[in-house]
Amino acid sequence: MKNTFTKTNKKPIMLSGIQPTNNLTLGNYLGSIKPYVKLQNKYKMYVFVADLHALTNKFDKNNLVNNKRNIVCAYYAAGLDFNKCIIFNQSDVISHNDVSHVLLCHTTLGELERMTQFKDKGLSKNDNNTFYVRTGLLTYPVLMAADILLYDANAVIVGTDQKQHLELTRNIATRMNNKYGKMFVLPEPVIMAHSARVMDLLDPSIKMSKSNTNPKGVIYLSDPLNVVYKKIMQAKTDSFNKVNYDVKKQPGISNLIEIYVAISNISIETIVKKYANQNYAVFKKDLANLVCKELKTFQTKFKKAEAIFDKQIKPLLVKNAKICTQIVRKKTSLVYKKIGLQ
């Protein structure tokens, strides 16, 4: 894990969130949820449901409600300590948008148009016709910058795909600090050495995403375990039939090895050695059992979270939103003052 945050006596602050778009995937789990759990004792954690971000894609009102709830239950099921981490819904803390507007006015159109995610999810999905691209998709990295800067986050867990957005956050913060005097902390990316980018099982050239069109390439956290098993056994590999880590020449098997590493904490070298004389089927079977074991525990705890959601978890979300509102109000006031609004 890479983390260049400078140590202080106080616990550093970490902030992360997931958009409630569709069902959560193994990519979300290994790339962000599991790392939050690992790091929750090292950092003061703010973990949120990025529901305002979900509006940048097509969404269904009823699904949005369910997806939001599912993310909170997933945090619980994965082992986040709800007494230590501040878990909240982004839209319950109104000022995120206030500061986002100020940041937007300090960002250029060119900066936003060159964001890879905007090109991938916005332009290329709409034949480069901006008439069909939602403006929110263009501006959401700035809302993300506001999310991070409002809480003085020192560190943000990001998959490699989000690194560019964090660089933008740092650029905007530096620009504003230089122009008006220090108001923002510069966040560092924390990128997990493995599982930073879990790839689609059938097309290892694309990221495993909630919105991928073919569900057979995606492991959803809610998939029945026999389906998970089958998806792994049917994952695309190659004709070498040699368990070897080479992302360029053998992207499929390399992706499976990364998943193995992320779940077992065994190194790539040890795994490659262990399966040196085995065919892909043996390796896949072991991996499928490993993933199923992990998801079985997760799914059991997820059911428990659903059962206690209304009585125990919901009140906590309300309480946390109040805590966050106070923090954010203070920061918004500072920003307004510094730039001459107050």
Of 12, 23, 27, 169, the residue at the interface with ligand AQP (CB under 6 A) is 27
Of 50, 168, 183, 324, the residue at the interface with ligand AQP (CB under 6 A) is 50
Lookup result for tokens 């839209």: 91
158 binds ligand AQP (CB under 6 A): yes
Residue 184 structure tokens: 């923002």
58 is an active site residue:
no
25 binds ligand AQP (CB under 6 A): yes
Work out how close the CB of 285 gets to ligand AQP at its nearest, in angstroms, rounded to a whole number: 23
Q: Which is nearer to ligand AQP, 25 or 332 (CB)?
A: 25
Contacts of 52 (CB under 8 A, 6+ apart): 90, 91, 96, 97, 143
Q: Return the residue nearest ligand AQP (CB atom).
A: 31
Of 14, 18, 80, 257, the residue at the interface with ligand AQP (CB under 6 A) is 18
32 binds ligand AQP (CB under 6 A): yes
44 is an active site residue:
no
Q: Which is nearer to ligand AQP, 255 or 332 (CB)?
A: 255
48 forms beta bridges with 17, 88
Specify the pairing of strand 44-49 against strand 86-89. Answer: parallel
Q: What are phi and psi of 18, to 5 degrees?
A: -130, 140
Lookup result for tokens 């109104």: 94
Q: For residues 143 and 1, give the distance between their C-alpha atoms in angstroms, rounded to a whole number.
A: 26
216 is an active site residue:
no
Stretch that binds ligand AQP, among 154-162, 247-255, 298-306, 327-335 (CB under 6 A): 154-162
Size of the site for ligand AQP (CB under 6 A): 23
Q: For residues 210 and 21, give the distance between their C-alpha atoms in angstroms, rounded to a whole number.
A: 7
x/- track of binding to ligand AQP for residues 191-210 (CB under 6 A) = ----xxxx--------xxxx
Could you tell me if 115 and 168 are in contact, meaning their C-beta atoms sit under 8 angstroms apart?
Answer: yes
211 binds ligand AQP (CB under 6 A): yes
Q: For residues 280 and 225, give the distance between their C-alpha atoms in angstroms, rounded to a whole number.
A: 20
Contacts of 256 (CB under 8 A, 6+ apart): 232, 235, 237, 283, 284, 287
Report, as residue numbers or ranges, the catalytic residues.
121, 207, 210
Residues at the interface with ligand AQP (CB under 6 A) = 18-19, 21-22, 25, 27-28, 31-32, 50, 158-159, 161-162, 195-198, 207-211
